[in-house]
Structure formats: C-alpha cells, structure tokens
Amino acid sequence: MEPEKTDSRPAATEPWRQVIADMVLWLALVLLFLAFRITLFSIFHTELPQRPSGHALMRCFETGLRSDTCAATWGLLPLFALTLVGFIHPLGIWHQRIRQLTIAIVLILCAIIFVTDVGYFAEYDSQFDHWIVGLIYDDRSAILTTIWKSYPIVRLILIGSAAIAITAWALSKLCRVAAAADVPRFLGTKSARAITFGVIAIWMFVGTKVWLGKNLAGLKNAAATGDAFLNKIVLNPFFALRYAIWQETTMQKAAGLQNYLPDGNVRAAATALFPGAQNAATLDDCLKRIAPGSAGARPTHIFIVVMESYDAWAMQPEYAGLHLTDGVSALGREGLRAQAFISSGISTIESLGVLITGLPFARVFVNFQPVVREGLPTASARIFKRLGYRPRFFYGGFLSWQRIGQFCREQGFEDVYGGDQMRTHTHGNEWGVEDEDLFRFVLKQTGPEPTFNLIMSTSYHPPYSVDVEKKGFDPAVVKANSNGASLSQHQLRVLGHLWYSDKCVSDFVSEGERELERPLFAITGDHYSRKQYVSARPTHTLFESLSVPLIICGHKALEKVQPPEALAGSHLDVLPTLTNLAAPAGFVYHAFGHDLLDQSQRQVGFGCNAVISPDFILKINDPTHVEDLHGGPAGRVDGTALALQYRQLHGLGWWRAVKGNQWPTRSGRGD
C-alpha cells in the first residue's frame, strides 16, 4: 500500500476527481463482466449446433453489455451515493479507503459467483436457474461433500485469492491515478457541482432501473439472440441468480398462477381439459376416474422403480453398441416400453412429488405445501391402500433429504425406509447406499402380503464413487464403439455408473420374478442425466435431451394385456396406468394423467416443460419448433394448442397444491 499523500489542490474540485475514479472503476467492472461472458462462451461453445450468425453474436453481447452495465451500477451503488455526499461535504482520504473496501468486497463476490456459475453451467447446461433454489431444501451437507470430492476446492481458493489480491491492487492503483487527474477550476463552482449532482443521481436511477428492465422484461431481453446457447450466456450471472430467486419466490405466491393461466381462470381451464365435469362442485370432482377392470390377473406386488438420472438416450438403437443399458432394454422387449416418455420434473424431488401426490409439477415444491399435507385423493399410497396393497417407500439415501420421509408418511405410506437401514458391507456415499444393497433390502422386506412400492435409487449421481469395474464394467467395450472412442477416463467412469444402475435394476426384476408370485414392475428415470457425452449426430435432439424410459414388465401380471401400438406419456400417467392394471371394474379413483394402455386415449405426455407423442416432441417455451423423435422435422402439429393445454394442466396443479380443492370465489379466477 502506498503512503497516503496530502492533496493541495482546491477542495471545490475534489468531488470531481472522485467521480472520475468511480467512473474508471465502473468501466473496469463492466469489462470484467464482459470478460467473464467471453470466458463462458469459450468454455462451452462446443454446445453450439452450428456457427452462430454475426447478428446473433452482436445481439448476445449487446444485450449482455446492458446487463453488465446494470449489474456494475448496482454493485457500486453505495460508492456512487458516497460520491454524491462528497459534493455536499467532501470526505477526503475516507473516500479512497471506502473505495478500496468496495473493490475488495466486489471482487470477492465476483470470484465466488464466477467460479460457481461455471461449475453450475457444466452440470446443468445453464447459468443459475430455479435449481439453485433447491439448495435451500436439499441435503446441503451431501452437496458440499460432493463438491469437495468433485472439484479442486483448495486449488481454486488459492488461485482465486491470488487473483483477487492482484486485481484489487491494480484497480486501487488505477483509481488513485484517475483521482489525481487535473480538473478545470470552473467545475468547482456551486452551479457546476449542483448540475453534476443531478446528472449523477439521474444516471444512477437509469443504470439500476431502466437499462435492462425489471423482472420478466429482463428475461425476455436475454432471450432475443435467436440462438439457444447464446441466450444462456446473455445475462450477467448476478442477474441470473436474482431472476432464479425471484421466479421461485413468485411461484410460491398467488402470482404464480399467472405464469400458467394469465387470466387466472381456474374453472375455465378445468372445463377445457375435463369437459365432462363442466358442472363439477370442486376441482377434485373433475379428476374422478372409473377403472375398467384389467383382463389379466391382479398383481400381487407393484414396484415403481425411479432410477437416479436414468435417461433414455442410451437405449436408442444407435447407442446399443455402448452396452450401457442392456438389462433394461431387454426388459422393455419382454414387457411394455413407452417409445416416447418424459419426466414430469427436472430434479429428483420434482418427479418424485408427482409420483407420490399425483399432481402435475407446477414449480411448487409439494413436499413443503400445507395444503398438500392435508392429503390428496390423487396420492398414490392412498389409492393403492384402498385397493388392498400395503404402501411402502424405499430411498437409498437419507430420509431427511427434502423431508422426504415425513412427506411420504403424510401422503399415506405405511412403511418408509432410508439408506441408513440398508447399509451392509458397502459404504455407499453421502447420497446413499449402492443400488444393489437397496434392491436386496426391498426383496428382503417383501413377503406374501400385497404391497405397493415406490423405490428411489441413488448410485448414478455425483461423486460417482462406486467401483464399477469391480462390479463388472469394462470401459474397453464402450471405447470399442465409435460413439465412445473419444471419451475421457472421467466420462467412462460416469457412464459406468449408468451401466451399474442398469445391471442392478434388471437383476432386481429377475430376482423378483423368481421369488414373488405375480409382481408388476414400472421402471423409469427421475430426470434426464445431463451426462450424455456421446452423440451420433452433430447435436443432441430434443428427444435425447429430455426423454427418460418407462418400462412396464412382469410376465404373469401382463400376460393378457393388449397395449396400443405406441405409448407416450409422462410420470403423471404412471399412476392411472398401474391403477387400472390392479383395480376391479368400477373402482373410483382420482388422477390428472391418463392410462397409457387405454386404446381410446390419445398418446400425449405433458411434463418437464415439454410435450411428447410417438411422432413429435416440443418445448413449451418454443412450441413452434417441433421435432420428430429422431431430431428431424415433424409433421403438422399445433404446438400452440398443446402449449395451452400444458399450461392449463399445470395451472390446475398449482391451484390444487397451493389453494386446495375448492374453486376460486370470484368469477372463477384465482385472484
């Protein structure tokens, strides 16, 4: 630190020198944000399906610059306010000291956000979004342990600290040089200072309120490049975090309904989706279903197996040579396989919440909703208990995660088991036991009494600590295929966990078929894994990026079932499908989804911000872009109408989870 010097220049021009120093610091911060965006582009540009146009790049960096200037203004707002005070009462050397402290704080925050954002982008293929809010509810200890094992934290801290120290010294030096500039004496007059005071105050207002826009306006501005990848890097990371928090808190309030139903008309949405229940007294009355009765014998045990991160891309014919999902693929050939299926959520708790409650996931965490705790007629445990099955929940991890144990008991599960009850000679990791121990425990707990079982696995999850080669995985088999020839050791280890999970669940089905009288299995993934390192095409298709499998198997339970030619749906459709396989004719139950095996129903699935059928897939945020399941152009599809139905369905799901069963009291609107 250089010794402080006494400035003999006129005090009247001192505030001007501080303004110059602040402007230099502000410009340096904007350039730092710009450099980070360039870094993001450089690291992740391989996600670009093709070279972006010059116009798209210009829009990206132009709008990004507006985001950066706004964020820099907010970051230095206290310093600018101090400068305004200096026009009334100069603060002398304290102005420089406070500026140095501001530089240190801003740089520390930037280092934390920048590093976290890069890691987040690598995992979730996006800057901060609503997943980041899940840290509030998730197992933070397990998350931190996973991060510690997966990243060189000590090295990052040391490098970051050195970078902060060097940058802080350089910026402080630059600001002192700027503050030493000569300022014309006429600017020290009272009128010039008053005018400058007003200009800076207006500039601060414009910088914080107008340049980017508030709330959704900023998000719309950020999505204007015409390129999906460039849209992801437009926002300044501080704003991306701000919007993620704002969106999630909004969804928990009454305003969340407007995200699905802008007019708030709940009854109109219900009438559109369930025209036969036009005069229903409550929302639940719209959801009544009557089981037709199954042609086959009633299953003695029903197992819904939700596999961690098990998505469907590896089951496609072009990836069969990798031999990562041979077990489940064989079960699909022997039983029933949904050719087009997507998860209802993009995280584990979102999809599990749908399978537990029967509600569409509408950006509301049902496991924390007071209305949901009161009980739901669509809840899977309650439905199958009425059918004479003992409802049980098995989770390979800790039941404290997302309060999942208590939540399942609230929803009617009579037996709830966690990983701490399953540990044997293996240790698992901070997320849970190895899959083989989970499935071994399930079979050990299963006797002659009919049971309905919801099972959640954990092995295919960071930090990927299973010794998969010891379990029988051979990386050379993957490397021998052209799609896997260029994979790194880390990528092979990750995909080895997919192979291990596949082996464990297929072994579980085989043993269950041998030991139990007439079991029925439904196997799916909680969400797509985000770990598709290989592609037979220049870029991943929508189907490859979003789909998860649904396999329904059980030789004796399905021997008389005649399915439609092609099946399409989401997690929302699993419960009514299994209910109709187990229920006698005339059994009344409630469901938002449809029976996949009903020949009279259209095969369309609504979930995971997307709509899928055997012939096409589209995302809700761009319903005009429709692909077939191979990534090619689909036939004529009214994507706008399907997006409307998606919003109506999820608007009703939001209303049932947050407000309850009764209709709104004012004109059918959720005001």
pLDDT bin (cut points 50, 70, 90) of residue 45 is confident
Choose among 663, 372, 307: nearest CA to 508. 307
CB 72 within 8 A of CB 26: yes
Residue 211 pLDDT = 44
Quick one: pLDDT band at residue 570, thresholds 50, 70, 90?
very high
Tell me what the mean pLDDT of segment 83-106 comes to: 81
CATH superfamily of 293-596: Alkaline Phosphatase, subunit A (3.40.720.10)
Q: Residues spanned by CATH 3.40.720.10 within the chain?
A: 293-596
The confidence band for 251, taking pLDDT boundaries of 50, 70 and 90, is low
pLDDT recorded at residue 665? 81
Alpha-carbon 346 to chain mean position: 4
Band the pLDDT of 18: cuts 50, 70, 90: confident
Residue 503 · residue 472 · CB < 8 Å: yes
pTM of the entire predicted model: 0.75
Residue 444 is inside which H or E element, if any?
helix 435-444
DSSP of 312-373: SGGGSGGGGGG-SSHHHHHHHHHSEE-SEEE-S-SSHHHHHHHHHH-PPP-S--GGG-HHHH
User: What confidence tens digit (pLDDT) does each residue in 80-91 have?
Assistant: 778 777 777 777
Please name the residues in contact with 232: beta carbons below 8 A apart, sequence gap of 6 or more: 121, 125, 126, 127
Q: With cut-offs at 50, 70 and 90, classify the pLDDT of residue 2.
A: very low
112 pLDDT higher than 50: yes
Helices 54-75, 14-44: inter-axial angle, 10-degree rounding:
140
Residues 451-498 pLDDT 10s:
999 999 999 988 888 999 999 999 999 999 998 999 999 899 999 999
Amino acid at 82: L
Higher pLDDT, 180 or 447: 447
Please tell me the predicted confidence (pLDDT) of residue 139.
Answer: 56
**Parallel/antiparallel/unpaired status of strands 550-553 and 519-525:** antiparallel
Over residues 165-186, the mean pLDDT reads 80
Average pLDDT over residues 400-412: 89
